[in-house]
Each structure stands twice: as structure tokens, then as C-alpha cells.
Amino acid sequence: MTGFSLSSLFESSSGLNMPIFVVLVILYLGITFGLAWYGYRKTKDAADYMVAGRKTHPLIMDISYGATFISTSAIIGFGGVAASHGMSLLWLAFLNILVGIIIAFLVFGPRMRKMGKQLHASTFPEFLGKRFKSRGIQSWVGLFIAVLMPLYAASVLIGAARFIETTLGIDYTTALLIFTIIVAIYVIVGGLMSIVYTDAFQGGIMFIGMAFLLIFTYIKLGGVVEAHTALTNMSYLVPESLTAIGHRGWTMMPEFGSQLWWTIISSLVLGVGIGIIAQPQLAVRFMTVKDNKTLKRAVFAGGPFIFMMAGVAYIVGSLSNVWFFNETGMIALEAVGGNVDSIIPAFINGIMPEIFIMIFTLSLLSAAMSTAGSQFHTMGTAVGYDVIKNGILKGRSTNTILFSRIGMVITIIVAVILAFQLPGSIIARATAVFMGICTSALLPMYAGGLFWKKMTKKGAYASFFTGLVVSIFWYVFVHASEAVPFRICQILFGQPTLLTGMWTFIDPILIATPLAIIAAIVVSLKTQPPEEKFIEEIFSENEESEAANAA
């Protein structure tokens, strides 16, 4: 294209009709804060602040769940990874729907809702603590969330700030601080009641934005068949550095057993696809609805919503290579200088008309705000309620909301600091690491607590610490993506990783999770079983008994 330059990819926003865009942003923020205020006014007690009063409408809960899960890390981070690695990431979208919606809503959700209500649990750590009759478990899980979730939250903040920076020409620091302050205000003030209402609105904006993105991408590339054919025919353009690790083209799976295959399957597809079910900020959503019928109805909206969010991001990310090559003579990764986190922002600003850029900017703001809001709430309650109030103070204080707000302020500051310190191309990696550790450390204990009557407190401790310790060890000393840049193994042992070959590309989830499951089973079977009366009560299927216990 004559006269085209790479810098123009990041300057297209200069032509935006700023008065119109400012009006749209003001209207968007006005509705967001209006809904947040509505949620705040309906917040009468700690139960409203922590679990939205346990009576959320199924559609609102479903969109809130989906909007919380799908953030800028999925659209910006994983969309960029799809531009580099190809459509093999669509297996992740499939697993998100199978595990994150169907299994989560039909298997885990009903049991979590009923048991959480019987135990009067308000947070995910409190649910686990009361299930195993252990304040220690509640505190440890709360501390786990407080320490590790800021990494995931930082990746969401980075995605939002990078897109604002690219689209509006605002410097990264200003964009990050403004975005964080806006979300923090309504989360800290209104709690989960405000979050579910704002999530529903933001989820609707996200759905519209992603639908526009998919349709316009195909139109711009000549149609569905033409676009995919062009991408298939570009396989000869895959850089040698990627073909050496198994890349065979953007519409093909990597070579079986190759480094790239292990990265995509173990770290991204399994790590994030299974990890969704053990996410504390998502699991607590099941305790916000009044009955199991609500969860069953939500499945019908959840699947299409997740596909339109994650699936579209992976498809468009891969297809962006066609447009970048047509415009610059380079594939997407090369056109943006190697930073995968810049691919989707550059593509959007380069290919889309002015009005779409405005709409999609609001869509990405919605994606980031909905996820960040839930993360802030989960981190804050973990620190203030689970660690300080119920751990350090042994439940003696009644200032639940105050402690939760203090915890939010602390963890938000930590997340912002991380967002300034983390390197480029980190969004998808940070998300996968957090979800992988959650799967290994929390899922065996969570699933065992829900479905296995013989799971004991010591078994829960064993599975939690086995999954956590093995995961961290594998990341620091074996898994090359983290071990090499960390350099701890190099400093201690004089080599980048303790193991060699394919072991360095196998994600910790495939090592730590099975060991955590084994630890849970072995220790539970060898320790004193939990009190039979207590177990029968919380596993009871009698709804009348449930109502009586809740009262």
C-alpha cells in the first residue's frame, strides 16, 4: 500500500471525532455509575456486599459470570497469541464452554450454591474453611488469593491501559491510573451488588463490540472462505523461529509433541480451560442466585456469550495476519515489533472505521472493567474478610464491609505496581500462570469438598500445599517460559532449568494437579473422617432442610 507506514497503525485514532467520542464515554460512564449507585442503594448488609443478596436474576448472573471471565487478557492478550500461534487456540474456547459453562453451571454450581448457603459462606475461602471446619484453610486460601491474584489483575489493567494508550494517544501511566480509579470507586463503595449490575451492562456492550469485530473483519478480508483460504496460504510466511518449535501454519495444529504443541495444549488450553472452574471470583457467583433452576437457565446464554468473546478474539487474532501482510508486507507479530499485546490494538485501529473504534473502545473498557471489578472485590474480601477479620482477629470484629474495603485498597495498589513493572507480551502468560496455579492448588480441595464426603481437613491441606508448592517449583526450576527469565535456577544451579527436553515445555498443571489429587485422597483416607452428622447435613438434597438451616 503506497505511503503506508507502521506508525499509522497507532495513529488512526487521531482522526476520531473527539466531541462525539467524549459524549459516548460520558454516557457510558454515566450508565455504569448509575447502575453501581443502584447496587449500592440495594446493599443493606454484609450479605448484599459480599454475595449480592443471594437472589440475582439468572440472566444478570450469567452475563456477569461471562463478563468477569472474559477480559482484556482474553481479547488483547490471547487474541495476540492467536495472531502468533494460530487458530489452535479455538480448542481453548471449546474447553471454556465445556468446563466453564456446562460443567460449572450444571455440576459444580448447584452444589456450590446449596452448600454455600447452608454453611452461610460469603466468600470462596470462607466456603472452603467452613466445609472443612478450619479457619486456617480460610486464611491460607485468602492469603493465596491476596498474593497471586494481583498478577492476574495487573494483566487486565495492562490490556486496558495499552488499548487506551493506542486508541486515544494517552500515555500508559495516565491511562492505567484513570482506568483503575474509575473501577475502584464503584467496587469499593458498592460491593458485589454493584458489580453484577454493571457487569450485565458491560457484557452487553462487549457482545455487540465482538459481533461487529467478527463481521467487519470478514467483510474487510473479502468473506469467510476468502479470509481463511488466504490465511492457510500464508503458511510459508511463518518465521523460522516458530517453525523450529512446531508451527505449521495459522490454520493448523502445531506438530504433535513439539515445543509449541505442549505450550498451547498444556499451558493455554488446559491451564486456562480447566483453570476457569477453580477461579474464586467466578465460583462465588454461584452463591449469588436463589435456586438451581437459575443456574440451568443460565447455560443457554453462557455458551454463546463465551464463544462470541473468546472464540471471536482467537479467530480475528489469527486473521489479522492477512490484513497486516496486505498492508505492510509483514505478518502481525513482525509488524508490531514482536509484542503480541500490541497486535489487536494495532489491528483494530488500522482496519476499523471511526465509529467502530469508538464502539470497540467501549467494549474493551467493559471487558476490562467487569473483570477488574470482580478481581478487586475478590482480592479485597480475601484480605479484609478472610485473612484479617476471620484469620487474625478470629471473627471477633463485625466490621465486614470496612475490612473488605481496606483489603481492596491494599490489593489494588499492589496490582497497579505490578502493571508498571511487568514486561511486554505478558498478558496471556500471566493469566495462564495464575489459572494454572489455581487449578493445582484449589481445584482438588474445591471438588473434593463439594462431592466427596470422606475428604478431610488434613486432606484439604495436603492437596492445597502440594499443588501450590509443586506448581511454584516447576515454574521456577523447570518450565522454561518462567524459569529462564526468573534466573533463580541459573543462579543456584548454574543452568537455566533443572530438566531438559520436552519437560521444560510441559506446564505445571499436568504435574502438580495429579499430585495434589493423590495427596488429597491418600491423606483423607488415612486421617480421621469428618463428623458424620455435619457431612450428612451439608450433603443433604432436601431443600426444606436447606431453607431451615439457612434461616
Looking at residue 4, what is its pLDDT? 38
Q: Which of 50, 33, 88, 104 is nearest to 306 (CA)?
A: 104
Half-sphere exposure in the Cβ direction for 302 (13 Å, CA): 28
**How far apart are alpha carbons 187 and 57 in whole angstroms?**
20
103: its cell numbers:
460443567
Q: How far is the C-alpha of 102 from the C-alpha of 297, rounded, in Å?
A: 11
Q: How far apart are CA 261 and CA 246, in angstroms?
A: 7
Question: What is the residue whose three cell numbers read 500490541?
Answer: 342
* Confidence (pLDDT) at 397: 67
Q: How many CB atoms lie within 10 A of CB 30?
A: 10
How far lies 233's CA from each of 197, 228, 249, 395, in Å?
Answer: 45, 9, 9, 63
- CA–CA dist 106, 98 (Å, integer): 11
3-state secondary structure 124-183: HHHHHHHHCCCHHHHHHHHHHHHHHHHHHHHHHHHHHHHHHHHHHCCCHHHHHHHHHHHH
pLDDT (0 to 100) of residue 157 = 85
Quick one: pLDDT at residue 50? Answer: 61
What are the residue boundaries of the structural domains of the chain, listed by start? 1-17+58-423, 430-551
Nearest 5°: phi and psi at 86? 105, -175
Alpha helices, DSSP H only, in 452-542?
457-477, 480-486, 488-493, 509-526, 532-538
Identify which of 255, 213, 212, 233 has the alpha carbon closest to the alpha carbon of residue 345. 213
Query: Could you report the per-residue pLDDT of 21-56, keeping only the tens digit for each?
Result: 788 888 888 888 888 888 777 777 666 666 555 666
Q: What's the Cα-to-Cα distance from 312 to each of 155, 308, 345, rounded to whole Å? A: 20, 5, 15
Query: 536: which 3 cell numbers?
Result: 450428612
Q: What are phi and psi of 536, to 5 degrees?
A: -65, -35
Which residue type sits at 477? F
Q: Are 359 and 352 in contact (CB under 8 A)?
A: no
Other CB atoms within 10 Å distance of the CB of residue 288? 25
- Angle 332-17-324 (CA atoms, 0-180°, nearest 5)? 10
- CATH 1.20.1730.10 applies to domain 1-17+58-423: yes
Q: Which residues of the chain have pLDDT under 50?
A: 1-14, 543-551
Distance CA 319, CA 310 (A): 14
Q: Model confidence over 243-291: pLDDT tens digits? A: 999 999 999 999 998 999 998 998 888 888 888 888 888 888 788 777 7
Task: For residue 519, give the amino acid letter.
Answer: A
Cα–Cα distances in Å, from 518 out to 121, 440, 482, 522? 27, 12, 26, 6
- H or E element: which one contains 227? helix 224-232
pLDDT of residue 527: 94
The span from the CA of 523 to the CA of 518, in Å, is: 8
